Chains A and B, each alone.
Chain A
């Protein structure tokens, strides 16, 4: 913050000059003044608001968070009923936002990379299809896309009583897609542990393989071994625990299907809309990143006799990532923030729950503050992670 640049130049006159002409002193004073003005303004706004609200006898504070919410939420990752508190309702909304953002980010990055690379393909058709995809989806406002997918879902899908059943265990209707999932059994907990163990093993094997390759030049078939581990270990756990095969099937009961795993039309269209829209931008970023690597790099790699997949994975992408990551971060943040459009199509995200809370308690200032804090937290965490990844990927100068 402080300006130390001129110090060495100022050094020689330092004894003779009066303190108010000293640049370090001046800049310190200016900064203290600026901070004081900001702090005083904030203090004035805060006290004035509190006083005004008190005079108009409007309730303030966050006391409402512990009161009974008395509304229901359509979909929730944790159990929730109308007798739970506003705090829990908001937590449900926050989890729903995190769920759609998290799944959305993973799918967006995957799809974006595929389309971005396809855009640069030497195959004319593949590169044209990718170009059309990018141009069309980039240019339509995301809210319109959400409405579009939601309308499609609602109008194309049949009612539950005439549901489409493509195969046993999957049901499609205008209440969403239902999938049969394995019925509760302790074996599945152990399979979860097995996956974690597999991941840890893979981590160490990769480290070892890299070291060995650096030492001896031998390439270890890391991908095959990793895939085998992550499939075989849980399978072993499943067999050991008695190989349960009972399924929890969706069954039509009364108005709706019950059982199985339900992907609601709201979640489905929100995810689809966000992923398709954002991945178009990500694809362009990926393309820009790859094109920023000079042609010589590719030619050099090819002349070493590397296969195209290795040229991409070992030479081009590691360098391109440095260009890709910063703009990618901002697109992923956009996806998270755009997920607040959910309320337009009825997905109970954080903004939707906050809106209900605001209209039931009337405490708009607190509600809006909570929304801001929530999105700020998610965005800061995402950008913290991406900055860490960026530092890790940055070119190490030797």
Chain B
């Protein structure tokens, strides 16, 4: 497994070595080959995981489907490439994938040094702590001296180190690479506490022998704006991906859902007419079909539908909208005008 990972990294490196610049004209390339290559998580319930029929599901997967709808008008012109946390950026840099939808946190270093650009955030997350209820903890400030299970290859290790340092607490990390191994270690009591993005913790808790025995501590110790990413220097492709995400958010604000979108075509509201392409202009500006937003909402749904379907209160993850609510409802989801 380890060798396989190193091999993938090496292969990606070799790809960089021998391939020329592939960034120019991604939209043209994608249209020519007939599908979008998307880098996704190898398996994170609610964000990207393959179900028993081998079909990919999740919030990141639906984001990718929206991009497919924008370019091709159907949600299935996709090739999913599962990537580990270590190989994801290399895969994007080397041109192995066209877009990365893999719960990646937007940070300064990544945007400036890794040669990639993050588009609009599709999920606002934050790092939290999960502990067994039997420890009787009320706050993360009581974790001094704790052994903490950390999943490798993310900003998690750094955030945890910063948090414990800031609060003058001693701690001991146990850093494990794979999700199943860290679950096994944590649920068998190797660590007092596990830290990761709150959404991931919610997912991991569902795998516990008795999920009710574990709880999340109230502290959220970091900002984790998760966003799809594209390569530096291809602004046209950046716009396509960016407005695919924004279209889902805007649709929710207009109250357009996958169910009523056909009725909405008859709407007299000039904004909605522009949005759905009844009044042309937006599509041409992006180099897409005029009906790109219609196709996204029709086949994938608006952001609220996508959220509820994958991670919302009715799913095993049972995550509330919180920061991910529309700005009109006190959240951070906000789209610029579609005109």
Q: Which residues of A contact B (CB under 8 A)?
A: 45, 48-49, 52-53, 55-59, 70-74, 81-83, 143, 147, 150-151, 154-155, 159, 174-175, 253-256, 258, 265-266, 340-341, 343-346, 348, 351-352, 355-356, 358-365, 368, 371
Inter-chain CB contacts under 8 Å: number? 161
Q: How far is the CA of A55 from the CA of B233 in the complex (A)?
A: 9
CB of B148 to closest CB in A, whole Å: 9
- Quick one: given A265-B190, A362-B109, A364-B90, are A154 and B184 in contact (CB under 8 Å)? yes
> Does B258 lie at the interface of the complex (its beta carbon under 8 Å from any beta carbon of A)?
no
Residue ID in chain A nearest B232 by CB atoms: A57
- Quick one: given A253-B145, A355-B152, are A58 and B13 in contact (CB under 8 Å)? no
- Quick one: given A58-B113, A359-B85, are A174 and B189 in contact (CB under 8 Å)? yes
Most buried by A among B1, B18, B144, B152: B152
Contact A71 B178 (CB under 8 A): no
Contact A82 B161 (CB under 8 A): yes
Q: How far is the CA of A240 from the CA of B277 in the complex (A)?
A: 94
Contact A346 B174 (CB under 8 A): yes
Q: How far is the CA of A200 from the CA of B12 in the complex (A)?
A: 53
Would you mind naming 30 contact pairs between A and B with Cβ atoms under 8 Å apart? A45-B18, A53-B16, A55-B21, A57-B112, A70-B158, A70-B162, A72-B160, A72-B161, A72-B172, A74-B172, A82-B165, A143-B1, A154-B184, A154-B185, A154-B188, A255-B192, A256-B147, A256-B172, A265-B190, A343-B177, A344-B176, A344-B178, A345-B176, A358-B9, A359-B153, A359-B154, A362-B113, A365-B13, A365-B16, A371-B6
- Quick one: given A57-B115, A72-B161, A174-B188, are A255 and B2 in contact (CB under 8 Å)? no
- Quick one: given A73-B173, A346-B176, are A52 and B21 in contact (CB under 8 Å)? yes
Contact B177 A344 (CB under 8 A): yes
> Does B89 lie at the interface of the complex (its beta carbon under 8 Å from any beta carbon of A)?
yes
CB of A284 to closest CB in B, whole Å: 24
Find chain B residues with CB under 8 A from A72 CB: 157, 160-161, 164, 171-173
- Quick one: given A154-B184, A356-B157, are A348 and B175 in contact (CB under 8 Å)? yes
Residue ID in chain A nearest B171 by CB atoms: A72
The 10 closest A-B pairs by CB, nearest first: A56-B115, A154-B188, A82-B161, A254-B145, A346-B176, A59-B113, A71-B157, A58-B115, A362-B114, A359-B153
> Does B122 lie at the interface of the complex (its beta carbon under 8 Å from any beta carbon of A)?
no
Contact A159 B17 (CB under 8 A): no
Find chain B residues with CB under 8 A from A363 CB: 113
Find chain A residues with CB under 8 A from B86 CB: 355, 358-359, 364
Find chain B residues with CB under 8 A from A49 CB: 16-17
Find chain B residues with CB under 8 A from A175 CB: 147, 190
Find chain A residues with CB under 8 A from B89 CB: 362, 364
CB of A358 to closest CB in B, whole Å: 6
Contact B190 A154 (CB under 8 A): yes
Most buried by B among A57, A81, A151, A352: A57
Q: How far is the CA of A360 from the CA of B143 in the complex (A)?
A: 25
Find chain A residues with CB under 8 A from B17 CB: 45, 48-49, 52
Contact A159 B189 (CB under 8 A): yes
Q: How far is the CA of A361 from the CA of B86 in the complex (A)?
A: 11
Q: How far is the CA of A56 from the CA of B86 in the complex (A)?
A: 19
> Does B270 lie at the interface of the complex (its beta carbon under 8 Å from any beta carbon of A)?
no
CB of A270 to closest CB in B, whole Å: 12
Most buried by B among A255, A266, A361: A255
Find chain A residues with CB under 8 A from B145 CB: 253-256, 258
Count of residues in B whose CB is under 8 Å from the partner chain? 60
Find chain A residues with CB under 8 A from B178 CB: 344
Q: How far is the CA of A253 from the CA of B170 in the complex (A)?
A: 12
Q: How far is the CA of A259 from the CA of B306 in the complex (A)?
A: 52
Contact B181 A345 (CB under 8 A): yes
Find chain A residues with CB under 8 A from B144 CB: 254
Contact B147 A368 (CB under 8 A): no
Contact A58 B175 (CB under 8 A): no
Contact A266 B174 (CB under 8 A): yes
Find chain B residues with CB under 8 A from A356 CB: 152-153, 157, 175
> Does B231 lie at the interface of the complex (its beta carbon under 8 Å from any beta carbon of A)?
yes
Q: How far is the CA of A189 from the CA of B168 in the complex (A)?
A: 33
Contact B162 A346 (CB under 8 A): no
Residue ID in chain A nearest B174 by CB atoms: A346
- Taken residue by residue from 132 to 157, chain B's Cβ proximity to chain A (1 for < 8 Å, 0 otherwise) reads as 00000000000111110000111101
Contact A351 B2 (CB under 8 A): yes
- Quick one: given A255-B145, A359-B86, are A364 and B172 in contact (CB under 8 Å)? no
With A56-B21, A71-B157 already in contact, 14 other A-B pairs whose C-beta atoms are closer than 8 Å: A48-B17, A57-B112, A82-B162, A154-B189, A175-B147, A255-B143, A344-B1, A348-B175, A352-B175, A355-B152, A358-B9, A359-B86, A362-B109, A365-B16
Find chain B residues with CB under 8 A from A154 CB: 184-185, 188-190
CB of A272 to closest CB in B, whole Å: 16
Contact A151 B153 (CB under 8 A): no
- Quick one: given A58-B93, A74-B172, are A364 and B181 in contact (CB under 8 Å)? no
Q: How far is the CA of A348 from the CA of B169 in the complex (A)?
A: 21
Find chain B residues with CB under 8 A from A348 CB: 175
Find chain A residues with CB under 8 A from B174 CB: 74, 266, 346
> Does B337 lie at the interface of the complex (its beta carbon under 8 Å from any beta carbon of A)?
no
Find chain B residues with CB under 8 A from A73 CB: 173
- Quick one: given A355-B86, A364-B12, are A343 and B152 in contact (CB under 8 Å)? yes
Contact A56 B189 (CB under 8 A): no
Q: How far is the CA of A246 from the CA of B86 in the complex (A)?
A: 48
- Quick one: given A74-B172, A254-B145, A266-B174, are A56 and B157 in contact (CB under 8 Å)? no
CB of A229 to closest CB in B, whole Å: 40
Contact partner of A352 (CB less than 8 A), chosen from B6, B177, B181, B190, is B177
> Does B23 lie at the interface of the complex (its beta carbon under 8 Å from any beta carbon of A)?
yes
Q: How far is the CA of A345 from the CA of B185 in the complex (A)?
A: 9
> Does B10 lie at the interface of the complex (its beta carbon under 8 Å from any beta carbon of A)?
yes
